[in-house]
């Protein structure tokens, strides 16, 4: 596609973590399909993760370009090659990772000043607070991308304003005020901003909060039919400048894009599909607790034994981080893999999640309730078994289980500490895992109703991104808004 002199050039600046980077790459394809040049800011090792997907998009004529910057690992005290949050050997280094991200400011500013066509707008992850100064120096509008639902963002806003959580004991449920529904949490279930753990990033969290409103608006990976009342309330808070343009995962339409979304799968895709093909429709449990989820060995064992006790075929994704060796030792010593080989498949590393979830044999998704995974489960029409770990995942669980009626809780009651990955006295047992699986796979009226609700949500998601769907129309409005902003900025200079 020949680039026109007045063509918009939207610069996407993601936080370099899987749950933040993946939807931004999907967003690039969305804008490019509307004839807009998109520049994705990344680093060499992160570029490798999605080069195949982007190359195919470019080959098909989509105007996307990568802008690669060297990530200052050593300067920030990180190991060489640690360019993504999921590569951190320990979450103790999260502060260093944010410092390294901040060090991209000046080199990126210099590069963007010479970019042709010049940047029209920056859409950046809300965690990258330094982009406020970047957009000011470039004199271009800044729009934040928040990888959470409007439901979660409204709850976060109302907790900040009411401080209701500050006056209750840790385990006592309280009602979040001013929501369309009665929603209860305990303090132990709240994100780190309200429930600090041992990670030394509280000042970074406060900085993120302080800069959230210093943007023209918010782009949300959600769709209006999923949470309309919460979208309406969140729009009031942000002066109407909220655009729900998702689910972004639906822009990975081909099997190859689904298989390579986010990273190269650590299992042969054909082998995985062949295994899924060998099972009955709606019979397999897919268990994956996210790209950053690291169960301590004792909790991994409960999960693995619960899946085994369920007597359903299952796929279990293993991402142990620092604890991988301990987990692998248990698998070997216990004979677990040999014992379950007839009906269990273990995937070590990155799993082609969207491809797996879209297979007809999947009957349930055991998930940590990260927002990307939650949307992927909804788009696949698969009921969920929820095991939240940290961040806003307990809030997402409430949306899935209580508001949407699309899942069953496994019984986790508190966020795990971001460093130790555990919470003393708060354990999920194999019996609870098995009970939740039995409930979600139930062939009775409740199980049937839950499956039907998820099927309806799947159709709503699909329609939202089609022409005249709400997300399609929101994307049009967002582009028009950016065009108007560009004109206004030009007139003022």
How much of the chain exceeds pLDDT 70, in percent? 95
Looking at residues 317-333, what average pLDDT do you find?
A: 86
Q: At what angle do helices 131-138 and 105-113 cross, to 10 degrees?
A: 20
Phi-psi region of 287 (alpha: psi -120 to 50; beta: other; left: phi over 0): beta
The whole-number average pLDDT for the span 109-135 is 96
Q: What order of strands is seen across the sheet that includes strand 344-348?
A: 344-348, 314-318, 284-288, 362-367, 384-386, 407-409
pLDDT of residue 422: 66
pLDDT score, position 5: 43
Structural domains for the chain: 9-246+465-492 (3.40.50.2000), 267-461 (3.40.50.2000)
Q: What value does the mean pLDDT of the chain take?
A: 92
Residue 265 has pLDDT above 90, yes or no: no
CB–CB of 228/250 below 8 Å? no
Mean pLDDT along residues 370-390: 97
Where does the pLDDT of residue 421 fall: very low under 50, low under 70, confident under 90, or very high at 90 and above?
A: low
In this prediction, residue 493 has a pLDDT band, given cuts at 50, 70 and 90, of low
User: Is this model's pTM higher than 0.85 or not?
Assistant: yes
pLDDT for the residue 194: 87
- Give the pLDDT band of residue 235 (cuts 50, 70, 90): very high
Structure token pair of residue 130? 């330094």
Does residue 424 surpass a pLDDT of 80?
Answer: no
Please write the tens of the pLDDT for every residue from 199-229: 567 788 889 888 888 899 999 999 999 999 9
Q: What is the pLDDT of residue 3?
A: 44
> CB atoms < 10 A from the CB of 170, how many?
12
pLDDT digits (tens, 9 = 90+) for 18-68: 999 999 999 999 999 999 999 999 999 999 999 899 999 999 999 999 999
């Amino acid at each position: 596609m020949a680039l026109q002199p007045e063509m918009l050039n939207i610069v996407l600046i993601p936080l370099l973590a899987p749950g933040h980077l993946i939807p931004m790459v999907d967003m690039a394809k969305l804008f490019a399909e509307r004839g807009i040049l998109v520049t994705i800011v990344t680093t060499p090792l992160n570029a490798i993760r999605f080069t195949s997907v982007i190359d195919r998009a470019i080959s098909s004529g989509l105007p996307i370009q990568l802008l690669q910057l060297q990530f200052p690992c050593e300067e920030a005290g990180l190991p060489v090659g640690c360019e993504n949050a999921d590569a951190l050997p320990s979450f103790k280094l999260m502060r260093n990772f944010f410092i390294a991200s901040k060090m991209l400011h000046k080199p990126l500013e210099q590069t963007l000043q010479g970019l042709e066509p010049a940047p029209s707008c920056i859409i950046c992850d809300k965690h990258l607070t330094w982009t406020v100064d970047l957009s000011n120096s470039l004199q271009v509008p800044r729009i934040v991308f928040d990888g959470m639902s409007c439901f979660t963002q409204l709850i976060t806003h109302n907790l900040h304003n009411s401080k209701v959580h500050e006056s209750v004991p840790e385990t006592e449920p309280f009602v979040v005020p001013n929501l369309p529904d009665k929603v209860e949490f305990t303090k132990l279930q709240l994100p780190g901003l309200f429930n600090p753990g041992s990670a030394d990033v509280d000042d970074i969290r406060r900085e993120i909060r302080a800069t959230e409103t210093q943007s023209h608006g918010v782009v949300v990976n959600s769709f209006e039919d999923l949470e309309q009342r919460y979208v309406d309330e969140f729009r009031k808070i942000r002066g109407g400048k909220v655009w729900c343009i998702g689910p972004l995962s639906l822009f990975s339409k081909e099997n190859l894009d689904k298989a390579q979304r986010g990273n190269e799968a650590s299992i042969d895709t054909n082998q995985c599909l062949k295994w899924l093909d060998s099972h009955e429709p709606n019979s397999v449990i897919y268990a994956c607790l996210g790209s950053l989820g690291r169960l301590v060995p004792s909790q991994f064992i409960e999960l693995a034994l619960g899946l085994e006790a369920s007597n359903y075929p299952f796929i279990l994704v293993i991402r142990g981080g620092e604890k991988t060796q301990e987990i692998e030792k248990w698998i070997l010593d216990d004979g677990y893999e040999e014992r379950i080989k007839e009906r269990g498949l273990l995937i070590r590393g990155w799993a082609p999640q969207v491809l797996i979830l879209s297979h007809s044999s999947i009957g349930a998704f055991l998930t940590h309730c990260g927002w990307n995974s939650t949307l992927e489960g909804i788009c696949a029409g698969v009921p969920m078994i929820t095991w939240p770990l940290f961040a806003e995942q307990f809030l997402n669980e409430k949306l899935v289980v209580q508001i949407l009626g699309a899942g069953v809780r496994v019984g986790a009651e508190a966020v795990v500490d971001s460093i130790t990955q555990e919470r003393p006295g708060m354990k999920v047992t194999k019996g609870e895992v098995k009970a939740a699986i039995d409930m979600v796979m139930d062939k009775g009226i409740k199980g049937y109703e839950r499956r039907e609700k998820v099927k309806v949500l799947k159709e709503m998601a699909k329609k939202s991104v089609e022409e005249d769907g709400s997300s399609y129309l929101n994307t049009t409005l967002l582009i028009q808004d950016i065009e108007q902003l560009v004109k206004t900025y030009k007139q003022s200079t």
